[in-house]
Structure 1
Amino acid sequence: MMMKPNSSSSIITPFPSLCPENSKPLIFLVLSSLLLSTTVFYFYNFSSSPWQRGIRINNVGNSISNTSLKTQCNLFSGDWIPYPKGPFYTNATVCEIDDRQNCMKFGRPDTDFLKWRWKPDDCDLPLFDGTEFLQLMRGKSLAFVGDSLSRNQLQSLLCLLATVVDSVQVSHAPFSKARMWFYAEYNFTLAFYWSFHLVRSEDAEVNVNLTRMNVYLDEVDESWVTQVENFDFLIISSGQWFLRPLMYYEKGKLIGCYLCKKENITDLDVFYGYKMAFRTSFRALLNLKKFKGITFLRTFTPSHYENGYWNEGGTCNRTRPTPKHEMKLSDYFSELHSTQVAELRAAEMEGKKIRGLKFRLLEVTKMMTLRPDGHPSHYGHPASANIRTPDCAHWCLPGPVDTWNEALLQMLKMEAKSRDPR
């Protein structure tokens, strides 16, 4: 509300000698000037206050502060809204897209799945700014650790950054367990470490329809943990590989199995193996004496097979997001999610005691539950390949997976703000 000056005579009568009868025009001019000055002063201070400066980054959890609403905004609570402008890049952009997620290359007929944006409930998620990301990463390093969905996010980031500057791939073996890219202009290193289960694992049997694997739940995968000690940021994730037949080992001995269908072996559920793998991985980071980086857990994303499991005729043919009010994360996927989050929270508490190590949650489970339209389905390979099983677990590139990196950028800005509050 605009301030209104008092109109009583007390404003103009303290100095009667200056207010003769014939000076009314002068008095009116003075009052008008006073009113104008007050209005300008009030408007300037209001418009330049934090209330009118839109969204700023605030270092509280996964939230940014929408100061125009004076509320904390959770980046990961929201809905998908139409965005007709489409993606930042295409499959023709000079970057790295795995053919199995290159949906447009292999003839996906619809493009509406590209025209949605994630909208948090109480603010807007800013568009990805490649230059801003690289400026934040100047002189730093970031590594993705995990399975093919981790690679999915990595390749999204490579393509988003390709709209700004070229990278130089340091390691060239496409199926190597370790790959690395370098952005010379920003002295920024980006890496990917392939690890199915994060802990040590190996094939238990070969030449079977679905390979049974040995998983050593108390032994971290040395192929990544020995390489990340000097990284500034880690993005860790794993999920789908825990859903197949597994033989669980601890202290070198078989303690049970999941879906192994073998007599005289204790049945252990998938949640036990999932819990122990993350516990072992986070403890390994806590025990790295020189590690000072920030670890992000990118949460589990569900597959969207309908009308049957992946090997029983299941499909994912939808072309639009699921309305928020219809979202239902199954109890199975919900427990997988809560299992890994509980281990992250335990590591977060322990990290505060050990060199102040930080563990953060890149919470994408609920937003991706709403996107059954974002999978490659049958468009991750040429039609001539005659592959009958659709891919309803990975994500098309470009596609909704790009939102993970938009959120990651905002979280990195929060961390930078917490180090330098100016």
Structure 2
Amino acid sequence: MELMSVNKRIRNIAILLAVALILVTVIRLYYPVPSYSSVASYRSSSGIAPASYHAGDVEITDDQEKCDIFAGEWVPNPEGPYYTNKTCWAIHEHQNCMKYGRPDSGFMKWRWKPDGCDLPVFNPYQFLDMVRGKSLAFVGDSVGRNQMQSMICLLSRVEYPIDVSPTSDERFKRWKYESYNFTFGYFWSPFLVRSGSRDSDGPMHTGLFNLYLDEFDESWTTQIDDFDYVIINAGHWFTRTAVYYENGHIVGCRFCQLPNMTDLPMTYAYRRVFRTAFKAINGRENFKGVTFLRTFAPSHFENGLWNQGGNCLRQRPFRSNETLLEGLNLDLYMIQVEEFRAAQREEKKKFRLLDTTQAMLLRPDGHPSRYGHWPNENVTLYNDCVHWCLPGPIDSWADFLLHMIKMEARRTYKEKLLQHQKKMQ
């Protein structure tokens, strides 16, 4: 009996040691020791304080794990912004609001505060350490590009990437952070499915497009196998006039003004393209990464439509009780969530919801408006109430993303631990 008791104790000790070894290995894998070798690349003359990184910051508290980080309010953040148009070269000209004379700066000094917990401000060192040796792709429209450029600027306090794009086409870019072996990819696909121009002008002078609602856009669907994380988005391009195809045949159009054509709402196409995009991802046998659906970010035109003098001149965020997600914005958001849930239920790939809609609904103050070019410049540009100033509210998407990557690491750790415990039983 004593021998059996000793053997049992030895077996229990062995199990504990094995679990401890896995714990140490996983923690080092997902929460590596920070490296400060890139600090020298930061220009101290920028006036922006370099980021700091503490290994303990990586931990997710129980409150944060249970918290809905996407429900909350914007609160003042006097420490912002974390870069300027003078310290970051990645800002698209039309979103470079301070360069082109925007007179107020308060829109850069807010951060998102969830109702039930605190969401740490993005830490570039921490992010780069957690994605060391990995890759992230942005797939979608110019708001997706807006997000990628925000990320490049936020990470510029640590390191600037080098251009490793396989093509000179600006619609398909790759940027590499050499010190971390981390790569960004950008794939231009504003409709997410195969599309083409039918008329460069069209009835609304924004072009007339052919959308093949059930056909993959292989410019991105064949490329994602190389990526650990993929962020997809689509939205504002669906307001444009288009002819819709399914099974190789025209099924209708949106405001195309062509004879004998059924007029269909944009929501018809919107639902089908997300269904097709998720089908493409679920069908990629070699894609083992995580797909984030970044939800629709509403525009904020007031006193007219985008082509009828509408503008966005507010200088502070809304409170959550001052506006509602309604009408077309609500319809588009619900379509995204419903198709996302349907794809998730197939349990073939990892899908996560980067639910930025409510937060961005509350930021009518964050758009370029007319501050995307010089006032006397001879250009035909409408007030931009779709994209986001850099620096600006879109920088908070990085706060969300880092939190979600931490959560992903936590899930992976728990899965590995559970698998090991089952093997030891």
Flag whether TM exceeds 0.5 (same fold): yes
Give, in whole Å, the separation in 1 of the partners of 2:335 and 2:372.
31
The aligned runs of 1:186-205 (5 Å cut-off) are 186-205=180-199
Match of 1:292, as an amino acid? K
Amino acid at match of 1:243: T
Say yes or no: does 1:252 pair with 2:248: yes
Q: Which TM-score applies when normalising by structure 1?
A: 0.81
The CA deviation at 1:226 is 1.1
CA contact (8 A) 1:56 1:66 kept: no
Larger radius of gyration: 1
Match of 2:222 in 1: 226
Q: Look up the match of 2:370.
A: 378
1:407 has 2:400 as partner: yes
Indicate the SS of the match to 1:384.
coil
Matched letter for residue 128 of structure 1 = F
Q: Which amino acid aligns with 1:247?
A: V
Q: Is the 8 A contact 1:153 1:401 kept in 2?
A: yes
Residue deviations 1:309-361, cap 9 Å, x none?
001111111111112211122221101000011111111111x1x3xx11000
Out of 362, 370, 376, the residue aligned to residue 354 of structure 2 is 362
1:119-149 Cα offsets, whole Å, 9 max, x none, are 1001111011111101111111110000000
- 1:65 is aligned to 62
Matched, 1:419 2:420: no
Counterpart of 1:108 in structure 2 is 102
> Which residue of 1 is the match for residue 15 of structure 2?
none
Match status 1:396 vs 2:389: yes
Q: Letter of the 1:198 partner, please give it.
A: L
Structure 1 range deviating more: 199-208 or 120-129: 199-208
Match of 2:121 among 120, 127, 136: 127
Instruction: Give the aligned residue type for 2:158.
Output: V
- The SS at the match of 2:334 is helix
Select which of 163, 175, 178 maps to 1:181: 175
Calculate the TM-score normalised by the size of structure 2.
0.81
Give the equivalent residue in structure 1 for 2:152: 158
Q: In the alignment, which residue of structure 1 is the partner of 2:260? A: 264
Tell me, yes or no, if the aligned pair for 1:248 and 1:273 is still in contact at 8 Å.
yes
Give the count of matched residue pairs.
Answer: 357
Question: SS of the residue aligned with 1:336?
Answer: helix
CA contact 2:201–2:208 (8 Å) conserved in 1: no
Contact 1:146/1:195, CA 8 A, preserved across alignment: yes
Alpha-carbon distance change, 124 to 174 in structure 1, aligned in 2, over 3 angstroms:
farther
* Superposed counterparts of 1:36-47, under 5 Å: none
SS in 2 for 1:144: strand
Contact 2:58–2:406 (CA<8 Å) still a contact in 1? no
For residue 84 of structure 2, the aligned residue among 84, 87, 90 is 90
Taking structure 1 as reference, are residues 301 and 247 closer, same or farther at Cα in structure 2, changes over 3 Å only? same
Asked if 2 retains the 8 angstrom alpha-carbon contact of 1:177 and 1:223, the reply is no
Map of 1:275 onto structure 2: 271
Cα gap change, 1:358 to 1:171, in 2 (>3 Å) = same
- The answer on whether the counterparts of 2:297 and 2:357 sit within 8 Å (CA) in structure 1 is yes
Q: Distance in 1 between matches of 2:312 and 2:113?
A: 24
Q: CA deviation at 1:57?
A: 5.6
State the superposition RMSD in angstroms.
Answer: 1.8
The answer on whether the counterparts of 2:207 and 2:241 sit within 8 Å (CA) in structure 1 is yes
* Residue identity opposite 1:375 in structure 2: H
For structure 1, the 5+ residue unaligned runs are 1-53, 59-63
1:143 corresponds to which of 130, 133, 137: 137
After superposition, residues 73-84 of structure 1 pair within 5 angstroms as 73-84=67-78
Change (3 A) 1:380 1:243: same
Single out whichever of 298-307 and 162-171 deviates more from structure 2.
162-171
Contiguous gaps of at least 5 residues in structure 2: 1-55, 418-425
Q: Alpha-carbon deviation of 1:185?
A: 1.2
Q: Counterpart of 1:404 in structure 2: which amino acid?
A: W
Contact kept in structure 1, 2:210 and 2:244, CA below 8 Å: yes
Structure 2 CA distance, aligned partners of 1:388 and 1:136? 40
CA contact (8 A) 1:88 1:160 kept: yes
Give 1:186 shift.
1.0
- 1:14 is matched with none
Encode CA deviations 1:157-187: one digit per residue, 9 max, x unaligned: 0011111112111128675321001111111
Aligned AA for 1:253? H
Instruction: State the Cα deviation string for residues 72-131 of structure 1 (Å, max 9, x = none).
Output: 211100001111222111111134010010000101000011111111001111011111
**Greater than 6 Å deviation, 4+ residue runs:** none
Give secondary structure in 1 for the equivalent of 2:139: strand
Alignment check: 8 A CA contact 1:78 1:121 kept: yes
Shift of 1:207: 3.6
Aligned partner letter, 1:232: D
